[in-house]
Amino acid sequence: MEKLIVNADDFGMTEGVNRGIIACYQRGVVTSTTLMVNGEAVAGAVVLAAEHPGLGVGLHINLTAGPPTRPPHSVRSLVGRDGCFPGKGNMLVRLTTGAIDTGELESEITAQVQACRALGITPTHVDSHHHIHAHPVAASALARVCPPLGINRMRGYRLAPRSLKALGIRAAAMLSVAGAMRVPDRFAGIEEMGRRDMAAAFDRELVAEGGTLEFMCHPGYQDARLQHLSTYNNLRQVEMEALVSPEVRRVVEGSGVRLVDFRGL
């Protein structure tokens, strides 16, 4: 590979996640993060972003957890009776069955972009909580909304979906953003890279010739708030320890790859 982007998701979810991401930027190989504008620790994340201007900060579109940015009554097809997003599984069903009003979807995406800018963050790119942007309906909405708002870079998609159905959905999503959004040449997450021997995983991935690889990670300090908000909690600290390890840095630096954020795509 020529370039490597290491993006830490969920900036703003909790203070422990915020601190973990910054630790991986300062002491590890993280180059980029994405902000949850409706996260409970977003104010702290914005302060940390200002203190670390070399860290690329994009927007982590959230359509699956917590309250929307728009008033719930104005995006009824996106929320449940409690006025909050319905969770990953329910949202995917709604997107697939046509239950989502695309106008409401685009309105919520627009509101999150505007909220990000109002916080003083000019997003380097966009991705999504629970990888919802991999669904073609969400991908199409992002491709329509984001470029006019100054965002033309986006996370890519896994190259090896687990089923033919998933492969078809992924292909449709890729077609939806073609020409509108720039994406890295390759994408890998924990499932592809390996959680416990990340140095060996980077060693495997970085031998591919040319292009840019984005590696998605979710580092963070485990605490009571994280346990309450996310089922993915203890393993965030495992990721963090791997990302700041001398072994991972040695492999990345020895590969000759250039560490960049989405501004370098």
The predicted-structure confidence for 158-199, as pLDDT tens digits, reads as follows: 655 554 445 445 555 566 676 788 999 888 886 655 456 788
Handedness of CA 36, 37, 38, 39 (dihedral sign): positive
pLDDT digits (tens, 9 = 90+) for 99-137: 999 999 999 999 999 999 999 999 999 999 999 998 989
Q: What is the pLDDT of residue 179?
A: 76
Rounded CA-CA distance 120/47 in Å is 10
Q: What is the pLDDT of residue 191?
A: 61
Closest CA to 52 of 27, 87, 79, 75: 27
CB 28 within 8 Å of CB 45: no
CATH number of 3-264: 3.20.20.370
With a cut of 90, say whether residue 223 has pLDDT above it.
no
Distances from the Cα of 258 to the Cα of 33, 56, 255, 263, angstroms: 17, 15, 9, 13
In this predicted structure, what is the pLDDT of residue 192?
A: 56
* Stretch 206-220: mean pLDDT: 88
Query: Which pLDDT value is given to residue 164?
Result: 46
pLDDT tens for residues 46-105?
Answer: 999 999 999 999 999 999 999 999 999 999 999 999 999 999 999 999 999 999 999 999
**Would you state the pLDDT for residue 167?**
47
- Whether residue 144 is predicted with pLDDT greater than 80 in this model: the reply is yes
Percent of the chain scored above 90 by pLDDT?
Answer: 72
Distance CA 5, CA 141 (A): 24
- The whole-chain average pLDDT of the chain stands at 90
Lowest mean pLDDT among 126-140, 208-222, 226-240: 226-240
At 169, give phi and psi (nearest 5°).
-60, -45
User: 3-state SS string over the chain?
Assistant: CCEEEEEEEEECCCHHHHHHHHHHHHHCCCCEEEECCCCCCHHHHHHHHHHCCCCEEEEEECCCCCCCCCCHHHCHHHCCCCCCCCCHHHHHHHHHHCCCCHHHHHHHHHHHHHHHHHCCCCCCCEEEHHHHHHCHHHHHHHHHHCHHHCCCEECCCCCCCCCHHHHHHHHHHHHHHCCCCECCCEEECHHHHCCCCHHHHHHHHCCCCCCEEEEEECCCCCCHHHHHHCCCCHHHHHHHHHHCCHHHHHHHHHHCCEECCHHHC
- Assess whether pLDDT exceeds 50 at residue 16: yes
Model confidence at 203, in pLDDT bands (50, 70, 90)?
confident
* Letter string b/e over residues 138-151, b meaning 16 or more CB atoms within 10 A of that residue's CB: bbbbbbbbbbebeb
